[in-house]
Structures are given as C-alpha cells and as structure tokens.
Chain A
Amino acid sequence: MNDKNEHPSVNDGDLESLSADEEKLLDELGLFGAARRQFLGQTLASGLGIFALQLLAKEKALAAMTSPDAVLAQNAASGDAIQVTMRINGSTQILTVDPRTVLLDALRERLGLTGTKKGCDQGQCGACTVIVDGRRVLSCLTLLASCEGKEVTTIEGLANGAGLHPMQAAFIKHDAFQCGYCTPGQICSAVALLREAEAGEASYVTRNLRTITKDLELSDEEIRERMSGNLCRCGAYPGIVAAIREVQSGRQTAQAWHFATQEEIAAVMNDKLLREGRSDETV
C-alpha cells in the first residue's frame, strides 16, 4: 500500500460517531476542526481506533468503584508531602507528592500520562526520555522536586495542532519500532536531538570540534551515536536512523529491503562461478 493512501479523508459522519471518551481524548490532544479530521483520517487508517473500545468499557466499570484518595490524604497528613508546580504539555500542574517521587512515576501513576515508559528505572535504557526545558532527560532519574517551574513535554504533548509531529510520522513511515515500548522515548530523544544539531552541539564522533557550526547536518554515524542512549530491544535501529535522517535533512530515505526478482534468481542459479566456486589455485 502506498503511503499516500494511508490518510483517507474523514467526513463529518465519522466525527459524530465518536464516543464521549474519544471526544475527550481529542480535546485533550488539542485537535479540533480540520486537524481533528486529519488526525482521525490517520487513526482510521490505523484500523485500531484511538484505543480499543473493549478496554475502555472495562476501565469505565472500574471507575464506578468507590475510591477514596487515601494516598494523597495520607501523604498530606504525614507532613512529608511536597508541592511542585510545573508545566506539562502546555498546561500548569500543581502536584502534591511524596518527595521520593521521580518525574517518571508522577507522569505515569499520578497524571495517567503512560506514554512515557519505565524500562529500567535506573537510567540505563532511555525508555523514559522526556523533554524538560527543551533538553532530553531521563525522567526516571529526575526527582519531581527538581522540576519546579520547569516545562515538560512528553510524547502526548508532541502531537499538537495539526496532528502528528513530523518525527512521529517518520517513525511510522520507516517502521522505526516493533513492540513500540521504547518508541516514545526514542521520539522525544530524536526531537530534542534536532535542537542539539541546530545549536551545533558536538558528540563523541564529531570529527572537528574547532570548525563545528550551528545547524549541523547529522551523518548516520552522528545519529547512531547520539541515539545510543535509547535502547531498542526489537532492533529497529536502522529505521530509527532513517526516520531521523529524513526529518533532519528533509530528503526521502530509500528502503533497505527487496524481494528477489525472478531474473536475479535465474542469474545467480546459472552463475557457474558462484555455484562451483573457485579452485584452490585461484584462492
């Protein structure tokens, strides 16, 4: 299927058929009017809906359970709680938390922003990468208390306005993920990386530090090096490099796979040198 065909138009009927939860989600994402239509076009093409409706029903049933917020009450009562004010994905959040809380757990457990992933919880995998004041940080090693007054962008905050961030779209196009668990961290890392290149920041493999300029165009080697803090166990690295290179350079990247053609196969099957090898004398 051609990539051009993957974003079918969405008519108003589709918009009306959204459930209340889907409406709410799109509102949260800041998608209205044409942007919403375009986003839904992509989502419908994904065939999956925004999330599985079956699961939504289960979560609704659970929400009906009575839930006194014992946690907060207890923390506040114990006197250990700290209050942190910060901006997350453009909106101000005031959180009262256990001082041991790291940004990662605050995002996932308190704010329900589970797009940011916990992979190792000790700064060794990059899955929890978010953008704080424009720079990529490991949210598992960042105490929430250190985020006072900071601006945090998570994967949920990248797709604002007109649908997907170009990096998100490029990751889909280049199949730069399989299981998807490291993906939000990879994408946040990649987005922050673009700014590092813009600012002319050097890496370990940068050849000449004296002549380094702003607006670096990153080689594959540079991208690989600068992305090596984000592990991908599925091994989608070549796709990640291709996606970043394409977004950074604005040039399309060629695919690295192909089907063997009948002609290619016939040629090698008839190739005596290949089939019979060389005698020892010529070795």
Chain B
Amino acid sequence: MARYIGKEMSRVEGIAKVTGRAKYAAEFRVPNLAYGFIVSSSIAKGTIKSIDTREAERAPGVIRVFTHLNAPKFRNDPQDRSFRALQSDRIYFNMQPVALVVAETYEQARYASRLVKVDYNAEKHQTDTEALLASARDPSHGRGTRVRGNPEVALREAPVKVEAEYRIPIEHHNPMEPHAAIAFWEGDRLTIFDKTQGVYEVRRHLASSFGIPEEDVTVISPFVGGAFGSALRPNYYPTLTAMAARELKRPVKIVYTRTQMFAGHGYRPYTIQRVALGADRSGKLTAIIHEAVHNTSSFEEFDDNTTGFARQVYACPNLRASLKIVSTDLHTPTWMRAPGAVSGMFALESAMDELAYALKIDPLQLRLINYAETDPESGKPWSSKALRECYLLGAKKFGWEKRKFEPRSMRDGEWLIGWGMATGVWGAFQAPAAARITLRADGTAHVVSATSDIGPGTYTAMTIIAAEFLGLKPEQIKFELGDTRFPRAPLEGGSMTTASVGSAVHGAAMAIVARLLDLANRNEDSPLKGAAASDVELLDGRLQLKSDPSRYVDAFDLMKRHNLNEITETFEARPSREREDYAMLAHGAQFVEVKVHSELGIVRVTRIVEVTACGRIVNPKTAHSQEIGGVVWGIGMALQEATEVDHRYGRIVNPNLQHYHVPVNADVLEVETIFVEEDDKIVNPLGVKGMGELGMVGIPAAIANAVFHATGKRIRELPITPDKLL
C-alpha cells in the first residue's frame, strides 16, 4: 500500500511561488547587467536594403546596436535548422529580429530600439495556407502514410456516410511568463538562465552555435512560468543573448515583449482537415478517411502529426490518415499543448457527431459501437484501456440519459442548451531519463534530475516518488531540477515526465536500496542474509524484508558504521522491451453543457465532466489541476483563440492579450474531474501515463458538438465566435 503515491499533496514549491521567491529566468540578480531589446522586421519577406543605427547608437545609455552587419556568425549545424537571428540580410517572416539594441537600462534600450531605421527590398510573400494547397507536400519523413484496408471503396459502398472540412486557425501558447534569458561568460564558459522545457536541449543548441564543448555551457531553469510547448525548441533569443554577452564582455538580459512572443517561438499551425466516415446502418464504421494539411515555414519543416492518434481511436478495417504541409512566409510552427491530437480529434470527433446524427444514433452509443478492443493500427493488445469505464461513468455523472437527441430541443429562457461529448486520447510515452539520489546518514535525501517543471507539478511528483521508495517523509526529500549540472532528462513535453523521470527516480531509489543491502550483508550476522534487493525495502530508516519487517537493519546506523555520511546513486531509466508487445495510450471522455444565447450567439460552457484513464495518479491534487487546465485550454481553442494574420502584409494583427483572447476566470464555470485508475504494469515501473495534454484533447470537439445540439448549427471552423452562430 503506497504511503504517498496517489495521496493528495500540496505543491512542494508552493511557498516559493506564493511568496514571490520562486525565481524565473529574467529574475536572477546579476551585477553589471546590460539590457537587450529586439527590433523586429516590418515586412514578411525580402532583404534588408540598408539599416541605419547611428541615431540609436547616440541615444543615452546605448552600449551597442547589433545587426546582421556586425553580429558574429553562429556555426552551421545541419542537425539543428532552427532560426538564428541577425545572420544575414534575408527576411523570412514578419517580426523577425533585424537588430538588437543593448543599453544600460531597459528604458534606454527600449527607446533606442525605435530609432533604428531599416529599409527593405520587399518580395512577394504568401502567408495564407488556403492559397497554397496546390503545393501541399508530404513531410520528408513520411509519417502516417500507411493505408489500412481499402478506404475509398469502403466509403463508396457505405450505406451511411458523412464528409466535411474542418479548420483550425493559428494559435499561440501565450504562457504568462515571456521568454527570457540572462547570459554571461566566464572566459569561454557560458552560463545562461533560460526559460526552457529542456536545459540539455538549450545547452546542445548553444554549444553547437558557438562551437564550444557542451560541458562549457551551463543552462539553469528552476522555474518556468508556463510554456505549453513554446519552450521545447531552442528559440532564437538564447543565442542572441549569449552572443551579445560575449561581445560586450558583460551579462546581458533579453526578455521578449508580449508582441514578440507571437513571432518568437512558434505556434499551432493553421490546419485544414477533411474527414469522410462511412458506416453500416447499425453504426459500425466501415471507412475512415482523414486528411490534414497545415503550414510550416519556408526554412524549416514542422509536422504536427495531426492525424496520428486518430488512427487508433476506433475499430475500423479501412482507414487512410494522411498529413501534408505547405511552406508559408511565417515563422516555423511548433508543438502546442496536445499537439496534433487536439487538432485531429476536433475534426474526427466532430465528424463522429455528424455521423451519429446521420444515423440517428446517440453520439455516446456510436463510440461504444466502434470501441477498439485492441489497437486497430497494430493489432496489438492494449497495455490497459479503461475508456469504456470513462464513457459510462462520465455519462452517469453528467446525466447524459436525460439528453434529448434533436438539436434545439433543450432551452433555458433565451438560452439554448446543448449537450455534447467527445473522446480524448494521448500517448503513454517514456524517454530515457536519469536521476541522482544522495541519501544522507541524517535521514534526508537530495534528489536531482535535469528535467523541468513548467507547472504540472514535477517538483511535487518527484518528491512523492522519492519519498515512497526511499521510505522517507516528503519533507526529508529535497528535489531539484532545471540545471545541466544534474543528470540528463528529456524535454518536459509529450506528457512523459512522470513516466520518464519518475522511473529514473524510482530506479535510483532501488539502487540505493541495493547498495544498503550490500553493505548490510557484509556483516555475517545480518538479518537480511540471503535476501535479494527485490526482497527488501527502505521504510522510516529501516532496511527491512518485505515479507517479514521484523528482520531489518537500521540503514542510517549501517551507514555510520561504515563511516559513510552519504551514499549516492545515479540511475538511467529506459523504456522496457516489454512495451513493444503492446499498444499504449491514455484515454478520456468529456461531456459538456453549453448555453448559447438565441439572439446574440454568445456561448457559455456551463458544465463539464471530464473522466480520464491514464494509469496511476501520483498526486491527485496536481493531476486534477492538470485536467482542469486542459479543459480551460479546450474552452479557449473552441471559443476564443485565433491569431489573425493580415495576409496583405503577412503580419499578425492581434499580437497581444487584448485581442488574442484566452479564457478568463469568468469563462470557467463548473468542472468536475474523475480519475479511473488503470493498473498498468507494462507502461513503466510506476504505471503512469501521459495526462497533461489528455485533458484538452476532446474538449473543442465536445463543445462544438454541444453547440450543434443547442443550435442545430455545425461549426467546422474554430473558434466558434458569436458571428458564426447568427
């Protein structure tokens, strides 16, 4: 019986965060700091004809103005095609950096940035994905091209079919903390405080850009003020910051403005999808054709895997799910919370709702009829799958049986009521990760791994896991992360951190146990003689036999007897071979009530029941917050979020939080989250699956389906704003 795993625990970094003591990238006190301010291009494509920095350089406090003319060149890295600023006169996207003003104060740098004058040779640009469909091409690695059965024939012969196109605009992550870095050099050694989801990734990027050994770069990122994918790839500002610091021989800080966030780190791509579903009259799917096209940049390929997860959701013998990309004169897109999955499932789950209405079958029943008992893609068994439980429990909690099938059949005065549902799906990924534990004879432990905590509660989850397997209390554990001086961990993305880093912490704890047992059994009289490491456990300082706790050794006395103040073990956890024999996914079911104003078209999401099955829950308190966060993101995507590009200028026209709408407190009403735990011994030693993205995946479709139920209008283009309902 677990002592801490699965029990509610407040965040261990909670006090640091509520007192303002938690330090984010831009907040480290560094003496003699200079401030950089980025100047952005005003055209989308072309070259810089001339750039006049004289007035800016004369402004008070300005130390230097960097442009492509005087900035040093970074090393070319064929493995890393990410955009690096000030390398040539070429403009690839609007709001691309064209100069960096460095001054003594922020105010001086910001003012002088407006004095830089740039003349361009503009070229004809194209930022509209819709206009480029003829040039759509397969991504170079050709993911997801395999065709199952004969979908075209099956669709033609299907007695009931639906077919439609769905559109998702560009969306931006907009974490509350703007991206920022402070860099300084000590000789040829670089230290950088950066906002990142992966300190090792930034280290590799910087080392390769400057042509220095990775060991000479230290990346520190203990707190990240939200990221949602925007800090997965190395963005252009860390190299820029480090370059300026090297040239000026003093620490430099660069912080994106909110506006610069819209062309500084990627975005969810503009995505067009066509879904065609064929079914027999009983509702059984006979054909799924799911095609997606989204944009990438002109200089780099990005592939959102839009149709990837959708292949595994329903049992269907005939399926084609493809993805094509087009090159636009915009910055490169990137992963944004629930990448691919939420886009693909918006289309597929909307289409399933359309099919339910074509068949006159309850939308939930249609999902149950097509329930995939094994993975339809590989034929492998699921490591675990409690989706049916999610569907039924969610339906029960929500009161789905009271739903009237016909649209516009439920009303509350001027408000039309709609109930919709959808399926959520995400992976159960695990990547190699390492952790180091130092157990001290005073009964405390220091646990480190170079992972990140962008908000999901990694500090707390790792503290819980370490406490559980070291048999200590959580307050005796100190867990640290976000530093390249710690053992390597993967990017905090794809909802794989607890599975990956948690397994490493678990493994390191097991190594500590084995080491203690070895020490104990050097004594001939050890009560644990003959026991294997798997037979013993640490609990409250006792190394004891699991089957007979009366046979034990005091672990800390043992260490003292051997003159050991501490013992340290590092462990790298890798995905098991056993995983290959199974299909592994996390699932969920989402039920939504909306009220749509009959005259004004305003949509309110009044009630959501979110049921998730993602293996074991380490900390239900933070897990609950993750699911709520997913719901809030789903509401934003469904009803509010869109980055508007004026294609005449190839420029984003709403790069701020006034015109790019994200949900506010008043937009989020009743949200109930329920966890259906799965006992999964395959996925990883902890039995955990991805959950951070999962909670969002079905929400936009569930809301769109509820809006249809309320109004009879099927909105296939997000966001569902009032104008589309009038």
Chain A residues close to B by CB (< 8 Å): 1, 3, 6, 8, 25, 29, 42-52, 54-55, 58-59, 62-63, 65-68, 70-71, 74-75, 78, 80, 98, 100-101, 105, 108-109, 112-122, 124-125, 127, 154-156, 158-159, 164, 168-169, 171-173, 175, 177-184, 187, 223-225, 227-241, 255-260, 264-265, 267-269, 271, 273-278, 280, 283
Contact = CB atoms under 8 A, between A and B. Distances in A.
Contact of A283 (B258, B404, B474): B404
B237 to A, nearest CB: 15
Contacts of B4: 1
Contact of B18 (A168, A231, A232): A168
Nearest to A159: B19
B389 A172 contact: no
How many chain B residues sit at the interface, stated as a range, is 35 or more
Contact of A50 (B21, B29, B622): B21
Contacts of B401: 273-274, 278
A120 B478 contact: no
A46 B675 contact: no
A232 to B, nearest CB: 7
B455 A257 contact: no
B485 A54 contact: yes
Contacts of B392: 268-269, 271, 274-275
A1 B9 contact: yes
Given A118-B255, A277-B365, A233 B662 contact: yes
Given A158-B19, A237-B628, 13 more contacts: A47-B477, A47-B478, A50-B21, A54-B480, A74-B104, A115-B19, A121-B257, A127-B176, A177-B18, A187-B18, A233-B226, A239-B628, A257-B624
Nearest to B180: A118
Contact of A175 (B29, B61, B360, B621): B621
Contact of B7 (A1, A44, A184, A255): A1
A231 B15 contact: no
Contacts of B16: 46, 48, 50-51, 180
A223 B191 CA distance: 43
A171 B479 CA distance: 22
Interface string B700-716: 00000000000000000
Interface of B: 4, 7-24, 26-32, 60-61, 104-108, 111, 173-178, 184, 191, 220, 222-228, 251, 255, 257-258, 360-362, 364-365, 368, 388-389, 392-393, 395-396, 400-401, 404-406, 454-457, 459, 463, 474-475, 477-480, 483, 485, 611, 617, 620-633, 656-658, 662-666, 668, 671-677
Contacts of B405: 280, 283
Please indicate which of the listed interface residues B4, B406, B673 has the most CB atoms of chain A within 10 Å of its own CB. Answer: B673
B29 A46 contact: no
Contacts of B621: 175
B665 A230 contact: yes
A126 to B, nearest CB: 9
A228 B664 contact: yes
B676 A240 contact: no
A161 B474 CA distance: 27
Contacts of B106: 105, 109
A265 B692 CA distance: 23
